[in-house]
A and B are shown apart, each in its own frame.
Chain A
């Protein structure tokens, strides 16, 4: 769907935030179209009320004979008209919404953990940020988000995007920024005392600047998958997930993103939610041919550590040899 064109000479009205993502223009277009429709109906109703109110005011000598009691054609036609215009708006907005909810397969992954009352962003290459999110321009970015406590919401007005960040499961938000700059980041789901201070900024950079920024982290900011590899052995995962043929736990090499056959007969895709669930609630989904003997790590692992393990398992690409 084409975006709303930047009309030269027409300033970006102070009524709207800047348009800084690929969908911002589309959302503004839907907004403008619905304003136009709304104004159309409001004007008709207001004009009729004023006109009738004056023409038929009490005491005016005017023909009031046989006021119509009902008119089926008129009733049905305005119901039909509304239905058509309404469905048109619905479909237009729904199509952009489906786009908003479907990240491209090649999107850059960044992880976000929200907690009372700050945002923590984790780039897979290692850099970590608090209340800031650096991203490259013109590159699709997919945020995988989770809360450590209550419900928050990650809101970037300039992108026209938000999604709730909830405890207990990952949610996603994807965008492609179109304009370098700094943009407001707000928590948009009431979360307690400092809800209105849980704010920050999204910094959109030229791609080369972003690469430079990525590699200028501290020594402690190691790639997420490296941290995950360390954790994998520290927490004892490598004890069972050896990659040997007769191991008591399935080999994890190459499983990420692939369907897993379960004992129940179903197949599930081994995405980050599956990995997280398998670490915290291992009995939920048992891989076919294995026994439900994995201990749970619930209460013994943080959301950040879970993301490290997810990144590590993701890095064990298809065809990689089993780890020791």
Chain B
């Protein structure tokens, strides 16, 4: 490490005020990111705990651990909390908030107060939904299909929806904030073509935030209207159409999965570049692929409805477009792989997460083509095959990318290093446990085990036991970083601006950064990923 005299009493965003007020009324994007980090970690473990419970139930074919109704509540809680209160905000609201201004050479986001408002809305929404699911319970599944949700279940649907709706507003405001920031606050010389790919991914994600989320919000409000006011919209007994809800719901919820994966891909681009010490291959293609995924992602929602009652012709159009949306994702995978060529590769913890991401994302993405294939999907729709497919992407890819990013930027966020060997062990445990949990589910699904089943025929037991065994391993894998990252706040080695010796504006300022990010706004002259500090060991 180069000789930098480190003044441990230098002011940075963490020690610029220790009162609760200075945190809860902060306008600093970095503090808001930390607030989000703590909140989503809480929700992750709540949603994860629900999964532990139902995976325990699934060890045996009978419903002997929890009642059928409670089982239905558990998988619903798991989905709602994990999607709306963990996956959607995780990378954008934690890493995006922290890093976008730093990466573009700005002092903060365009609307700092709006940013704080986003966090409060998220917390209010989370509080309401958490209260609803824990004290009342909801059993509709995270998909809220009508007319079950709007007329048949006696659970806390309205309260849950209100919480999700408010959290949705939070994401719309974040998306707006990011778009304006990226357009207007780039430092001199930071042209669009010099932006880090992380920023491109978040730009594309923000477009989805602002265009798709309102549709979900209104659709959920319509469910509330039907439920509370008896207005017939989706319930045929009141003159409504149940399939209409599915179109409206999936119009948001398919782009939502790209909200969950595009930021992750942005993290991976950064990690691959950093730990190969070279520029991402095909930068322009990767940047444009993010926009292509966002755009095409709006056109494929009907692939969730191949057996729901739309015409075969409609279904075929959605299937064809779904194959198309795979292409930009595949372009990214090939480009990341090609980046390793003539790189200088180091298998630090973040790189282990990144390489694990690529493997799991490839499996998840390819199985996405299976479910996009019309005749195949007729068989595997609503089975564990689909459950396995989306967990490979949402957990195998997105969660691994989040953890990889947290580890990579941990020195920047906290000013400390984490214990590298514990990092590698956890990454390996998570990778192994994850595969043991979800790979058997592909087989279970093809064999015909439907999803959302509390009880099942005996012949499915062996694979269910394997899956639950994997879940216990992966849970341990997630607990370890929680412990050692918090531990590192006291015991980790303090670092200078660029402990990884990589390229990027965020690595030119101190770790942790000062509240104002940069003492002087940088002037950018280099392309992205071309400013690696010279090192005597490699060329």
Contact = CB atoms under 8 A, between A and B. Distances in A.
Q: Report whether chain A binds chain B.
A: yes
Contact of A93 (B237, B347, B374): B374
A68 to B, nearest CB: 7
Task: Please report whether the interface of chain A is mostly helix, strand, loop or mixed according to DSSP.
Answer: mixed
Best-buried of A63, A78, A79, A195 by chain B (most CB within 10 Å):
A195
Contacts of A193: 68-69, 72, 139
Interface of B: 63, 68-69, 72, 139, 141, 145, 147-148, 152-153, 235-237, 241-243, 276-279, 281-285, 306-309, 312, 315-316, 319-320, 323-324, 326-327, 330-331, 333-335, 337-338, 340-347, 355, 358-359, 362-363, 366-367, 369-370, 372-379, 381-383, 443, 446-448, 450-457, 537-539
Interface stretch (A125-133, A182-190, A203-211, A260-268): A182-190
Contacts, number: 268
Interface stretch (A134-142, A145-153, A307-315): A145-153
Interface in A70-103: 70-71, 74-75, 78-79, 82-83, 86-87, 89-90, 92-94, 96-98, 100-102
A161 B378 contact: yes
Contacts of A150: 145, 147-148, 152
Nearest to B237: A167
Contacts of A189: 145, 382
B374 A166 contact: no
A69 B279 contact: yes
B309 A34 contact: no
6 closest cross-chain pairs (CB), A and B: A157-B448, A168-B236, A97-B374, A93-B373, A96-B375, A52-B340
Contact of B326 (A14, A31, A64, A86): A86
Interface size classification for chain A = 35 or more
Given A41-B366, A53-B347, A67-B343, A94 B319 contact: yes
A74 B334 CA distance: 10
Contacts of B139: 192-193
Given A58-B346, A155-B382, A192-B153, A86 B369 contact: yes
Contacts of A49: 337, 340, 355, 358-359
B340 A192 contact: no
B539 A75 contact: no
A30 interface: yes
A70 B285 contact: yes
Given A69-B281, A82-B326, A168-B242, A155 B345 contact: no
B145 A151 contact: yes
A249 to B, nearest CB: 24
Contacts of B148: 150-151, 190-192
Best-buried of B320, B340, B347, B359 by chain A (most CB within 10 Å):
B340
B450 A70 contact: no
Contacts of A15: 443, 446-447
B516 to A, nearest CB: 34
Contact of A155 (B347, B377, B448): B448
B341 A151 contact: no
Nearest to A66: B342
Given A70-B284, A78-B330, A64 B374 contact: no
Nearest to A88: B323
A23 interface: yes
B115 to A, nearest CB: 35
Contacts of B309: 164, 166, 169, 171
A54 to B, nearest CB: 9
A192 B145 contact: no
Contact of B307 (A34, A45, A153, A190): A153
Contacts of A163: 307, 378
Contacts of B315: 97
Best-buried of B243, B306, B344, B375 by chain A (most CB within 10 Å):
B375
A241 interface: no
Contacts of B374: 90, 93-94, 96-97
Contact of B323 (A27, A86, A169): A86
